[in-house]
């Protein structure tokens, strides 16, 4: 007669329980599914972004010109294009105009955007929603279409702006005033257009951040006798600093690349007085057909923007660490 040996009782104090996960199998093959899912996006980035940049850098070291467009022949020019650019006064003047105009655009759009953002916190719900819809509509309008409308508004002879100024009788008869023929007026009109396009994004972004400011800090400052301007400067702006920094860097990058508005309104004129770096690049590459030299300007511009992008990423990571 066989005797069955009873199974040993389970030890409840054993470190492994029924709910414990099974040990990981040794030699398990890595899962490449995420990489396969990212492959289509990676291919698009390579074809649309990386490959054109590589070809741009390569072209900047050649004498690619109008002859090349018909014959396909070009030769290696080395650093000749970069040497010509760095010794060209037109390049440095366009770079200076770009920096100054970018600074004016960023300062104007940031100040107006901050004002609109704070205004949205002071109005009732109806006006807040109405203003938000108007801002989004203005922001969604393509800049080419809005620039064409801007040209009609400032047209000499039948432009609405000239007609309004003529009716006010402050600046005399402005009916036939051509804004694009005067550098100051051309810059002013383009500045108003770009700021009008940039304010919606800045205002809505800052307003979203301003809604997160703890109200108890503001109430405590008011109880201590602080004015509304002091509350905004000492309390609100302190909480908005990370968002302000990121929006400012983004605005610098966007305004540095302004081209459509300038080209469609004044084509860089009169003369070259409104020819920023983007317009100077276009004229060099596609008007003068010095494609290699235009590519060199684009490489320099890309390097500057990469530096600004590095600042943006660094600020983004720093703001994430401060949260």
Domains of the chain, residue spans:
53-87+290-323, 101-275
List Cβ neighbours of 68 (8 Å cut-off, separation of 6 or more): 74, 291
Residue 119, pLDDT score: 92
Q: Which of 287, 263, 285 is nearest to 275 (CA)?
A: 263
Per-residue three-class SS string for 250-263: HHHHHHHCCCHHHH
Residue 318, pLDDT score: 75
The pLDDT tens digits of the residues spanning 270-307 come to 989 999 999 999 999 999 899 999 999 999 998 988 88
What is the pLDDT confidence band of residue 245, given thresholds at 50, 70 and 90? Answer: confident
Which has more pLDDT, 65 or 11?
A: 65
Q: Residue 7: is its pLDDT beyond 80?
A: no
Torsion, Cα of 245, 246, 249, 250 (10° steps):
-150
Entry field: residues in the chain: 323
Beta bridge partners of 76: 62
The pLDDT tens digits of the residues spanning 251-268 come to 998 999 899 999 999 999
Instruction: Please tell me the least confidently modeled range out of 30-44, 83-97, 140-154, 270-284.
Output: 30-44
What rounded mean pLDDT belongs to the chain? 87
Residue 25, pLDDT score: 52
The pLDDT tens digits of the residues spanning 173-184 come to 888 999 999 999
Q: Residue 198: is its pLDDT beyond 50?
A: yes
Diameter of the chain measured on Cα atoms: 125
Residue 2, pLDDT score: 46
Q: Residue 313: is its pLDDT beyond 50?
A: yes
Mean pLDDT, rounded, for 158-184: 90
What is the pLDDT confidence band of residue 8, given thresholds at 50, 70 and 90? Answer: low
What is the pLDDT confidence band of residue 3, given thresholds at 50, 70 and 90? Answer: very low
Distance CA 89, CA 93 (A): 6
Phi, psi of 22 (to 5 degrees): -70, 150
Fold of 101-275: MetI-like fold (1.10.3720)
Helices 183-210, 237-256: axis angle to 10 degrees equals 140
The pLDDT tens digits of the residues spanning 13-36 come to 444 444 555 555 555 778 888 888
Distance CA 194, CA 191 (A): 5
Mean pLDDT, rounded, for 46-51: 90
Q: Residue 243: is its pLDDT beyond 80?
A: yes
Residue 101 structure tokens: 């105009």
Q: What is the pTM of this model?
A: 0.83
């Amino acid at each position: 007669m066989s005797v069955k040996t009873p199974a040993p009782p389970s030890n409840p104090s054993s470190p492994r329980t029924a709910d414990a996960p099974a040990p990981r199998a040794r030699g398990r093959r890595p899962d490449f599914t995420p990489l396969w899912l990212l492959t289509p996006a990676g291919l698009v980035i390579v074809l649309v972004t990386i490959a054109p940049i590589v070809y741009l850098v390569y072209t900047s070291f050649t004498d690619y010109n109008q002859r090349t467009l018909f014959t396909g022949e070009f030769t290696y020019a080395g650093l000749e294009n970069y040497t010509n650019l760095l010794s060209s006064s037109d390049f440095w003047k366009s770079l200076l105009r770009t920096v100054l105009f970018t600074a004016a655009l960023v300062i104007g759009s940031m100040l107006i955007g901050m004002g609109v953002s704070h205004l949205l916190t002071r109005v009732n719900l109806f006006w807040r929603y109405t203003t938000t819809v108007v801002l989004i509509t203005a922001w969604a309008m393509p800049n080419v279409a809005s620039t064409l409308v801007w040209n009609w508004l400032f047209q000499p002879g039948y432009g609405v702006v000239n007609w309004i100024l003529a009716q006010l009788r402050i600046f005399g008869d402005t009916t036939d005033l051509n804004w694009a023929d005067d550098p100051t007026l051309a810059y002013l009109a383009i500045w108003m257009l770009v700021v009008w396009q940039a304010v919606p994004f800045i205002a809505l972004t800052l307003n979203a951040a301003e809604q997160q400011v703890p109200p108890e800090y503001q109430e405590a400052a008011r109880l201590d006798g602080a004015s509304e301007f002091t509350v905004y400067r000492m309390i609100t702006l302190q909480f908005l600093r990370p968002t302000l920094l990121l929006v400012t860097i983004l605005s610098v990058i966007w305004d540095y690349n302004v081209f459509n508005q300038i080209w469609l309104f004044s084509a860089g004129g009169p003369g070259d007085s409104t020819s920023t770096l983007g317009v100077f690049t276009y004229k060099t590459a596609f008007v003068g057909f010095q494609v290699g030299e235009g590519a060199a300007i684009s490489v320099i511009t890309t390097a500057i923007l990469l530096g600004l992008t590095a600042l943006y990423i660094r600020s983004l990571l720093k703001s994430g660490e401060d949260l």
